[in-house]
Amino acid sequence: MLKAYTKPTPVSKAITRTGTEETIRGWIHRKRTVGGKIFITVRDRTGVVQCVVDKSVIGEKLWSVLDKAYLESSLLLRGVVKKDDRAPNGVEMEASDVLLVHSGEQFPITEYQSAEFLLDVRHLWLRSQRMISAMKARSYLFRYLREFLDKQSFYEITPPIITVSGGETGANLFKLEYFDRKAYLTESSQLYAEAMIYSLEKVYSFAPSFRAEKSRTVKHLAEYWHLEPEMAYFNNATNMKLQEKLVSSVANRMAKENDGILKFFNVDPESLLRIKPPFKRISYDSAIELLQQKGSTKKWGEDFGVDEERLLTEDEDKPIFVYNMPKELKAFYMPINPKDPRTVLCADMLAPHGHGEIIGGSEREWRLEPLLERMKEMKMNIDNYKWYLDLRRYGSVPHAGFGLGVERILKWMLNLDHIRDAIPFPRMINRLVP
């Protein structure tokens, strides 16, 4: 007799063991009844397998319970694995015993549902093959990113999520009540990562960042996962080198270790295996020239939007860097470029084929006076940054760092139309539930 806690064989393993009796545990992915037989496709986290339940084997009572079971019912099934060319992956299980754990109610998701409805029932849509594949890739991506940095002797640090001020856009902060004070959800952990290089030298924080983005685009989330490495004695050049190594490493591992997932999204693993250093580096000045050659009306000093990012990367197979942007477009902590004081020492990494900015990074102004000057120029509230300025008072060192948007990377690698499928429960301007 099957019991709920009987140890199952993963479906992906069971389908290789023809001729033996196996127990699998999962959910009813598909089901149809033909005569005295019920064909059930059982799904677990490793795959799906077709099973056939015969009334004459299983008995009238169990058969009719199963016949009424809804899609997504949970069950254990025991049976012999047999070769069958008609079955989806070439094998079929002939059930000798079934334990229906929970049949529940009719599953609300049927074929051909609108994208909005699937977002409303996101908690259930996560069981789809599409979301299963995307969420596995996401988990692997987290692992690859961490393992790369751990191998490079970084320490992982944990920043606060509640802060009194921003460091980036400022305008896009989420406000919250903090006892009797005003506070904000962090938009970047960089300033805290900077504080920790004075003790740990090479650090990264891996945490959510929050942006009250009013723009409805396919690449903006209000809450996203942000990997932010920060390194003592790095400059713009060594910063870019580290970024291209990191991105190449995770792209290559994604290609080598996840053939099935990439196939599901119609991504050729070769396209990710080709991602190798060095990446093209173009200055903001030449990017503007290139854009104008391509017919864009963008003028020097203007920021890039979706169209410009697409124009710049449409012919690229690898990500590119655009470096030294106008200071007006960038945050207060970026140092002025001594060779052209209209610009700052920074670089953005753009994904190929118009997937947009995946990394923003820069050197940090590490000298107190020029930093203060820049903050005054930008009319910032210096009081909020007293502690940050202290970092420039005691044993300051040159340093640099960057921020990588995990969902942006995944959107690019899996060639997703929309960033929302790169995160289980997306937060966007019109989406807070589930």
**Residues found near ligand 4AD in the complex (CB under 6 A):** 167-168, 188, 190, 211, 213, 220-221, 224, 226, 228, 357-361, 401-405, 407-408
SS3 355: coil
Indicate the residue among 167 and 269 with the shorter CB distance to ligand 4AD.
167
- Record the tokens describing residue 24, joined without a space: 């699998």
Structure tokens at 3: 């019991």
Phi, psi of 241 (to 5 degrees): -60, -45
As measured in angstroms, the least distance from the Cβ of 109 to ligand 4AD is: 26
Could you tell me which stretch among 16-24, 288-296, 356-364, 407-415 binds Mg ion (CB under 5 A)? 356-364
Report the nearest approach of ligand 4AD to the CB of residue 406 (Å): 8
Q: Residue 188's binding partner, choosing from ligand 4AD, Mg ion, none, with beta-carbon cut-off 5 to 8 A by kind?
A: ligand 4AD
Shortest reach from residue 191's CB to ligand 4AD, in Å: 8
3-state secondary structure at position 312: helix
**How does DSSP assign 2-55, residue by residue?**
--TTPPPPPHHHHTT-TTSEEEEEEEEEEEEEETTEEEEEEEETTEEEEEEEEH
Residues in contact with 350: Cβ distance below 8 Å, sequence separation at least 6, in sequence order: 309, 312, 313, 319, 320, 321, 322, 356, 357, 358
CB nearer Mg ion, residue 360 or residue 426? 360
Residue reference for tokens 């060594």:
238
Using the rule CB under 5 A, which residue among 159, 356, 360, 361 binds Mg ion? 360
Q: How far is the CB of 346 from Mg ion (least distance, A)?
A: 9
Name the residue nearer to ligand 4AD (CB basis): 47 or 361: 361
**Which window, 69-77, 115-123, 265-273, 353-361, contacts Mg ion (CB under 5 A)?**
353-361
Residue with Cβ nearer ligand 4AD (98 or 404): 404
When the beta carbons of 221 and 414 are compared against ligand 4AD, the nearer one is 221
From the list Mg ion, ligand 4AD, none, pick the one residue 26 interacts with, judged by a Cβ distance below 5 to 8 Å according to partner type: none
Residue 14 or 400 with smaller CB distance to ligand 4AD: 400
73 binds, among Mg ion, ligand 4AD, none (CB under 5 to 8 A by kind): none
Length of the chain: 434
Nearer to ligand 4AD, 69 or 145 (CB): 145
Q: What is the DSSP string of 242-256?
A: HHHHHHHHHHHHHHH
Q: Is 166 in the site for Mg ion (CB under 5 A)?
A: no
DSSP E strands in 311-366: the ranges are 320-323, 346-351, 356-364
Whole-number Å distance between alpha carbons of 254 and 164: 38
Smallest distance, ligand 4AD to C-beta of residue 398, A: 15
- Closest approach, Cβ 288 to Mg ion, in A, equals 17
Distances in Å between the Cα of 326 and the Cα atoms of 304, 369, 409 are 11, 21, 25
> What residues line the site for Mg ion (CB under 5 A)?
360
